[in-house]
Structure 1
Amino acid sequence: MLLSGLSATAASAAPAASTTSSVTSTKISGTFYYAKDNYNGEKFLSYRSGKLRTVLNGYKANYAEFSPNGKRLAYVTEAGRLQVSNPDGTHVRKLSLRVAPFGYGPNWTANGKGLIVARKSDNKAGVVQVSNGKFTPLPRSIQGIHIRMTGDGKRYLWSDGTGGIWSARVDGTDVKRVPVLGKQDRTNPKQLRAYDIVSTNRDGSRITVDLIKGNETDGDLGSGQVADAVVDTKTGKPIALPVRGRVSQVLLLSNGRLLVRSGPASKRVLTLLSAKGKVLASKTEPSSLRNLTLRDYLP
């Protein structure tokens, strides 16, 4: 996704620009996926045409993630069992590999054939092939947490656990640090940092993260599923988004578009942006969903 038309300033400081005049005939329709806190973990819910349905319940709902084409759903059970199902949670396939439950996904590879995980036995990060369960360790230089593959399959991005983000080619060479994030010097006066890479665009030039500032709480090791900012990995700076109010969530879609959730909880608005940052459509989110966490959207 290339948002070259947007200035690289804090997303929370975006001007309250009107979106009405630039909205096209594109509609925000399809299936939305939400998470709801539950006494035994979470509920992973689908919402379509006014109907809310439970897809997954309990621990396995915590880090559920769709494949790039939206046809498969991967998740981990409380016992560390890796499983893949249809989007509605049916036709479950159990993979033999037991995986680490915190900090390692599961995150899909660009081709949708593998999952980036870590073996539970030694926390070694690698890719397990969904077809046969074969596990291939990642190069030593890519042994971070919250590891993601770019949409073109050429690079990995990961967190170093101190608020910094790094990237490298899939063979482990050309290791680079994203500027600003996590640094303790004058290049980072706002103390910006990110521990969770929620998504990345095709070439890794844009990532969505839970952006932490100043004395805000850092959170824990567990993989976060909520991003509130888009970061330019060449500059390390967040990108302003053309929406009204505070941005609470950002979804980077597989087609390069961006779905932004903004405004007060009492009246949240969903805004669909093109790959270049143009407002395509907006709609008010039903009030019945205001206490849920938006996790994914399949047009």
Structure 2
Amino acid sequence: MKHRALAAGAVLTAFAVSTATTAALAGPAQAVPARSTSAQAESAQVVSEQAVPARSAPAQAAPAPLTGGGVYLGYGSGVRLVTESGRALWTDRSGYGQFSVSPDGRKVAWIDGRGRLHVSVPAAGTGKASDKVVARGAASGGPCLTPAWSADSRRIAFPLAGQADRLTVAVVGADGRGLDKVGATLGVCHLTWSADGRTLAGYAGTTEGVHLLDTASRTSRRVPGIRLANHVAGLSPDGRRVVVHAIGPDDAAGDGSWPTEFTPSVYDTRTGKKIALPVRGRLIGALYLRDGRLAVRVAGRTANTLMVLSPSGKRLQTLSEKPRNRRLGLLQVR
């Protein structure tokens, strides 16, 4: 099966990157809807406000409405991160693409070609940008091997270098303190962390399934119902639901880079049941917020829309994104 071509690429180390593996990682990424350059006219409206069966942790009694602030992703001469207003935050021209933005939108964790985990704090106002190496020995060389932030933006999980598909995941404070290993998993690609701190999720480097890592028991298991996937976008606060980009056997696996858009699917991580999203239109992304709300991104003719749903599937808020961000990927929203 073509998806096995990514198996080696997902576990590249900073010290051994073969030419054949690099070619596999650079496979038919153009077929993945990650870098689409068009968005057709779609109306973003809730079809039904009936409760969607949910077992996620309950949202706050009165969650603060989203302001539309967030961090966006674009590709050009490298990777560039910008705010919703277009202010430049961070640029990566290394070609590795192993980074993630903290939930508060203030920090970027990234891994360089030598397996060093950095935390960069972009300049804000009159402040100065800073960059600090907080850990070493990270798996590097594959763009899907991205670090994951905790919900409070204080800790970072990242895969350690190794030669097997199953890699050990470590956790360290954003200040470089408290390094600890939390277990090994096959789901090392595009790690994401539940808000309760208990569960990490990622897809296998071969794209064959999504795996959960329990940071308390340090055990890993595969999520039922998801045969193939090439992106994991978020977990509900209790880890009971996961947002993924599920693909078919004839779909291109892609190169593991952050997508600028994808068709989101939500699955119950225990039963494998796919949860229908009560939103109409061409869906191009979805993110879980730390309180259990789900922000669903819908493509528009001139601007995309964010539909914010409660854990039960009720519409809470509708936001129109700025037109300038229509073709950019959404990484964080506040």
TM-score (norm. length: structure 2): 0.67
Q: CA RMSD in A?
A: 3.4
Residue 54 (structure 1) shift: 0.8
Residue 117 (structure 1) shift: 1.4
Q: Distance in 2 between matches of 1:143 and 1:244?
A: 34
Deviations 1:247-267 (A, max 9, x none): 011121222212211134544
Q: Which residue of 2 aligns with 1:181?
A: 226
Gaps of 5+ in 2: 1-42, 50-63
Q: Which residue of 2 aligns with 1:155?
A: 199
Q: What amino acid is aligned across from residue 31 of structure 1 in structure 2?
A: G
Tell me whether 1:169 sits opposite 2:208 in the alignment.
no
Q: Which residue of 2 aligns with 1:105?
A: 146
Tell me whether 1:253 sits opposite 2:289 in the alignment.
yes
Pick from 156, 161, 170: which aligns with 1:115? 156
Cα contact 1:69–1:254 (8 A) shared by 2 = no
Q: What secondary structure, in the 3-state scheme, does the structure 1 residue paired with 2:86 have?
A: strand
Q: What amino acid is aligned across from residue 95 of structure 1 in structure 2?
A: V
Q: 1:177 to 1:79 in 2, by over 3 A?
A: closer
Q: Which residue of 1 aligns with 2:307?
A: 271
Pick from 248, 265, 269: which aligns with 1:229? 265
Q: 1:58 to 1:154 in 2, by over 3 A?
A: closer
Q: 1:246 to 1:223 in 2, by over 3 A?
A: closer
Q: What amino acid is aligned across from residue 169 of structure 2 in structure 1?
A: A
Residue 211 (structure 1) shift: 1.9
Q: Which residue of 2 aligns with 1:95?
A: 134
Residue 180 (structure 1) shift: 1.7
Q: Distance in 2 between matches of 1:224 and 1:98?
A: 26
Q: Distance in 1 between matches of 2:284 and 2:73?
A: 14
Q: What amino acid is aligned across from residue 215 of structure 1 in structure 2?
A: D
Tell me whether 1:145 sits opposite 2:164 in the alignment.
no
Q: Distance in 1 between matches of 2:322 and 2:104?
A: 26
Q: Distance in 2 between matches of 1:34 and 1:71?
A: 13
Q: Distance in 1 between matches of 2:259 and 2:137?
A: 20
Q: Distance in 2 between matches of 1:71 and 1:204?
A: 24
Residue 289 (structure 1) shift: 1.9
Q: What amino acid is aligned across from residue 145 of structure 1 in structure 2?
A: V
Percentage of matched positions with identical amino acids = 26
Q: 1:73 to 1:100 in 2, by over 3 A?
A: same
Cα contact 1:230–1:250 (8 A) shared by 2 = no
Residue 52 (structure 1) shift: 0.9
Deviations 1:177-218 (A, max 9, x none): 322211xxxxxxxxxx22332211111111111221352212
Q: Which residue of 2 aligns with 1:291?
A: 327
Residue 95 (structure 1) shift: 2.1
Counting only pairs closer than 5 Å after superposition, residues 13-32 of structure 1 correspond to structure 2 as 18-19=45-46, 28-32=66-70
Q: 1:261 to 1:171 in 2, by over 3 A?
A: closer
Pick from 238, 252, 264: which aligns with 1:217? 252
Mean Cα deviation higher: 253-262 or 148-157: 148-157
Bigger relative CO (Cα 8 Å, ≥ 6 apart): 2
Residue 151 (structure 1) shift: 2.0
Q: What secondary structure, in the 3-state scheme, does the structure 1 residue paired with 2:290 have?
A: coil
Deviations 1:145-192 (A, max 9, x none): 12443322223333333421222432446643322211xxxxxxxxxx
Q: What secondary structure, in the 3-state scheme, does the structure 2 residue paired with 1:288 have?
A: helix
Q: Which residue of 1 aligns with 2:39?
A: none
Cα contact 2:242–2:269 (8 A) shared by 1 = yes
Q: Distance in 1 between matches of 2:241 and 2:47?
A: 26
Q: What amino acid is aligned across from residue 55 of structure 1 in structure 2?
A: L
Q: What amino acid is aligned across from residue 91 of structure 2 in structure 1?
A: N
Pick from 34, 37, 44: which aligns with 2:72? 34
Q: What secondary structure, in the 3-state scheme, does the structure 1 residue paired with 2:239 have?
A: coil
Counting only pairs closer than 5 Å after superposition, residues 55-66 of structure 1 correspond to structure 2 as 55-59=89-93, 62-66=97-101
